């Protein structure tokens, strides 16, 4: 009885924290300058991307190095459809980019999700590289010259767009993966895939569904990013460093937890921007990033989320199980 009261109390405290945090972010633009607003907009984008990757890496237990492909699909769908020859409104391109990414993820997810460990990681990396190289030679993508989008100089619009999409993503993932049968099945196959199959779970179908969901969310942020920066090329939206940052953010914050990716994304992106503003480049960022990761792995193997009440229990053992798979 006491444990039930404790769980309910923690749930209420978590809900209050979400409401207060969302309210604070909603009014934040009124108190910061335009440069800081762009930085916070970037934090929201990377937090959403880390959450999307965490569906596959944290909850399904499959390391994907190909998520930059889905980010690029969303970016290119929006960029192509907003060209003068087509001229579709930005908001109309968003669902089209999501559908395109989901279809591609479902198509490659069938064969690749049957692979395990390093084989799956290599397969997804190869797919992303192939797609990036393809984008460099196609006329429709602008090749190496890239594509320009209509300029819309309204930082508040992009901030609130990122804010709404990121908040919806986290709340939706929290409910879907923590309170539905789909989430239980996903965690079951992550913990012991053979046992999950013995219990009657169609593991391949569940993995493909998770992969497609993760791809759709990733492409959504890619679409918003393309309109935000007004110019894209294959490297800027499909480069491997995009996926690398997603992975590190999730590991830093807490693999297989709901709010860990947001924590890792915030710390990592703010560190990146601080180093860029102080030193003029991000070369120094790499050794500092390596040091942060080493310290977290050594002293906080469950991520920074383990510093908070209940975080250690939620993230316990996920990283070790993932390492054993690899």
- 134-177 pLDDT tens trace: 999 999 999 989 999 999 989 999 999 999 999 999 999 999 99
Reply yes or no on whether the pLDDT at 207 is more than 50: yes
Which residue in this structure is represented by tokens 């192509």?
A: 80
What whole-number distance in Å separates Cα of residue 173 and Cα of residue 180?
Answer: 10
Q: For position 18, what pLDDT does the model report?
A: 79
What whole-number distance in Å separates Cα of residue 6 and Cα of residue 167?
Answer: 26
Q: For position 273, what pLDDT does the model report?
A: 86
Q: Which two tokens stand for residue 300?
A: 């906080």
Q: For position 326, what pLDDT does the model report?
A: 53
Torsion angles phi and psi, residue 62, rounded to 5: -120, 120
pLDDT digits (tens, 9 = 90+) for 2-61: 456 665 676 676 677 778 888 888 899 989 999 999 999 999 999 999 999 999 999 988
Least Cα distance to 117 among 196, 57, 175, 164 occurs for 57
What whole-number distance in Å separates Cα of residue 47 and Cα of residue 264?
Answer: 8
What whole-number distance in Å separates Cα of residue 276 and Cα of residue 258?
Answer: 29
- Using alpha carbons only, give the angle 129, 132, 138 rounded to the nearest 5 degrees: 140
What whole-number distance in Å separates Cα of residue 104 and Cα of residue 308?
Answer: 38
Span between the terminal Cα atoms of the chain, in Å:
41
Q: Say how far residue 186 (Cα) sits from the centre of its chain.
A: 17
Q: Which two tokens stand for residue 80?
A: 């192509």
Q: For position 21, what pLDDT does the model report?
A: 83
Q: Which two tokens stand for residue 110?
A: 């069938």
pTM confidence score: 0.90
What whole-number distance in Å separates Cα of residue 121 and Cα of residue 65?
Answer: 6
Which residue in this structure is represented by tokens 């309210």?
A: 23
What whole-number distance in Å separates Cα of residue 194 and Cα of residue 197?
Answer: 5
């Amino acid at each position: 009885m006491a444990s039930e009261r404790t769980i309910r109390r923690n749930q209420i405290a978590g809900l209050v924290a979400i409401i207060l945090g969302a309210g604070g972010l909603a009014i934040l633009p009124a108190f910061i300058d335009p440069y800081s607003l762009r930085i916070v907009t970037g934090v929201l984008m990377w937090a959403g991307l880390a959450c999307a990757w965490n569906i596959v890496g944290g909850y399904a237990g499959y390391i994907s190095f190909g998520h930059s492909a889905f980010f690029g699909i969303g970016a290119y769908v929006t960029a192509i459809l907003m060209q003068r020859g087509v001229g579709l409104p930005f908001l109309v391109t968003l669902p089209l980019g999501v559908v395109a990414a989901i279809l591609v993820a479902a198509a490659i997810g069938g064969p690749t999700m049957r692979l395990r460990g390093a084989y799956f990681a290599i397969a997804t990396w190869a797919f992303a590289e192939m797609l990036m190289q393809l984008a460099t030679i196609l006329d429709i993508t602008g090749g190496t010259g890239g594509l320009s989008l209509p300029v819309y100089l309204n930082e508040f619009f992009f901030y609130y767009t990122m804010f709404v999409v990121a908040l919806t993503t986290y709340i939706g993932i929290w409910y879907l993966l923590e309170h539905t049968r789909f989430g239980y099945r996903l965690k079951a196959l992550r913990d012991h895939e053979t046992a999950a199959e013995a219990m009657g779970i169609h593991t391949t179908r569940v993995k493909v569904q998770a992969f497609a969901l993760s791809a759709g969310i990733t492409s959504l942020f890619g679409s918003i990013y393309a309109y935000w920066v007004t110019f894209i090329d294959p490297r800027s939206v499909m480069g491997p460093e995009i996926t690398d940052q997603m992975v590190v953010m999730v590991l830093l914050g807490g693999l297989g937890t709901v709010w860990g990716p947001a924590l890792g994304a915030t710390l990592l992106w703010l560190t990146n921007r601080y180093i860029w503003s102080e030193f003029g480049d991000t070369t120094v960022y790499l050794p500092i990033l390596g040091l942060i990761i080493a310290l977290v792995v050594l002293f906080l193997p469950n991520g920074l989320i383990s510093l908070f009440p209940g975080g250690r229990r939620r993230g316990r053992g996920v990283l070790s199980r993932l390492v054993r798979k690899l």
